[in-house]
Structure 1
Amino acid sequence: MCTGGCARCLGGTLIPLAVFGVLANILLFFPGGKVIDDNSHLSDEVWYFGGIGSGILMIFPVLVFLGLKNNDCCGCCGNAGCGKRFAMFTSTLFAVIGFVGAGYSFVVSAISINKGPKCLLANSTWDYPFHSGDYLSDQALWSKCEQPPDVVPWNLTLFSILLVTGGIQMVLCAIQVINGLLGTLCGDCQCCGCCGGDGPV
């Protein structure tokens, strides 16, 4: 099996995850599916752009991973100067960048889920009514938020999507770090026998 082929597979998997991250973060600006009058009433974590960060930042590793499609496995056999090891090393560096972006999204989402959304309270002030995730196990507390409508399930759902998406991206990028290091040390293929050769690269 080629390490380059594994990288391309990971790159293809990261594309929909990055799209989900961007869309989820955009939707957070419309709590309850409504346009809010004052942007200062949005939760602070929405402005941290966790989903946009992991989505946009993930474009670079995705392009690098998919760019390895031009590195045909068979072409590396017996050709020490083909640059495949350098390409795999570069993919490792970009995988680290992707891991950092996904980790940022994961942390921001976890903090927001624990903190809860900012909303209009009964005393006509905008604040965070929940403490240390207490609302997660007691939906009766959701009634503390009078506006925007359904802001609690809206934020909880979208930040949960970002949390899961970021976690999966972190795992995939970590896999590529290991895969890229193997490709750097051993070449694009584990063995030239997979291409009809006689020995390892």
Structure 2
Amino acid sequence: MCSGGFAKCLGISLLPLSIVCVLCNILLFFPDGVSVDSGHITEQVWYFGGILGSGVLMIFPALVFLGLKNNDCCGCCGNESCGRRFAMLSSILFAAVGVCGAGYSVIVSAVGINHGPKCVTFINGTDEQWSTPFADGDYLSDTALWSKCLLPVGVVSWHLSLFSVLLLVGLVQMALCAVQVVNGLLGALCGDCCGCCGGSDGAV
């Protein structure tokens, strides 16, 4: 497969992953599907890791990767002035942007998972108050602590599931962009279609 064609496959993979991240980030604004006051939303949700990092910033490299296949690769074999090598080289910069965006989402998600959600808890055994009862991350190893959160019902599993999806998808996006860095280097060094025209005497 030509490096441009492989980049297109990466771009096709990145687009739906970006949409998933944006949706997950939006759902985090509605704990357990319930609309709450903005002050009761976990701080890490407002960092927009899924919307900006793995979403918007990932759209640009995805579109660039998709466009690398548009030109006629065989018509450019051995012709460095046609710009295909430069296009593959420039794709590395966009891949780096993708790695940074996904990395930002991964960091925000990891911090969000460790801190846990905001929820209604009992203070002094009687008074109800919004707080973050799992700031030390101990709830991850002891599910019995989840009962500290009274409302919204199921907010802990909601918070943990969505941030976990963002974390995993962000890691996948980073891996795909890292692969394109290698693919872009190969395309820049030996052409978009190394060997695709070799010995074909100009055949398409």
Same fold at TM > 0.5: yes
Q: Which residue of 2 aligns with 1:133?
A: 137
Q: Which residue of 1 aligns with 2:153?
A: 149
Tell me the alpha carbon deviations over residues 155-201 of structure 1, each in whole angstroms, 9 at most, x when there is no partner.
00000000010000000000001111111121112224468259xxx
* Root-mean-square deviation (Å): 1.5
Q: Give unpaired runs (5+ residues) of structure 1.
A: none
Rounded to whole Å, the distance in 1 between the matches of 2:72 and 2:136 is: 52
The CA deviation at 1:30 is: 0.4
Q: Does 1:179 find its partner at 2:183? A: yes
Tell me the alpha carbon deviations over residues 60-101 of structure 1, each in whole angstroms, 9 at most, x when there is no partner.
001100011212221222333211011101111000001100
SS at match of 1:125: strand
Conservation of the 8 A alpha-carbon contact between 1:12 and 1:62: yes
The CA deviation at 1:140 is: 1.1
Q: Give unpaired runs (5+ residues) of structure 2.
A: none
Q: Which residue of 1 aligns with 2:65?
A: 65
Which runs of at least 4 in structure 1 moved beyond 6 Å after TM superposition? none
Rounded to whole Å, the distance in 2 between the matches of 1:193 and 1:163 is: 42
The CA deviation at 1:146 is: 1.1
Q: Which residue of 2 aligns with 1:164?
A: 168
Rounded to whole Å, the distance in 2 between the matches of 1:191 and 1:136 is: 52
Corresponding letter in the other structure for 1:178: V
Conservation of the 8 A alpha-carbon contact between 2:99 and 2:174: yes
Corresponding letter in the other structure for 1:2: C
SS at match of 2:69: helix
Rounded to whole Å, the distance in 2 between the matches of 1:47 and 1:136 is: 22
Corresponding letter in the other structure for 2:142: D
The two structures have a TM-score, normalised by structure 1, of 0.93
Corresponding letter in the other structure for 1:167: L
Rounded to whole Å, the distance in 2 between the matches of 1:120 and 1:194 is: 68
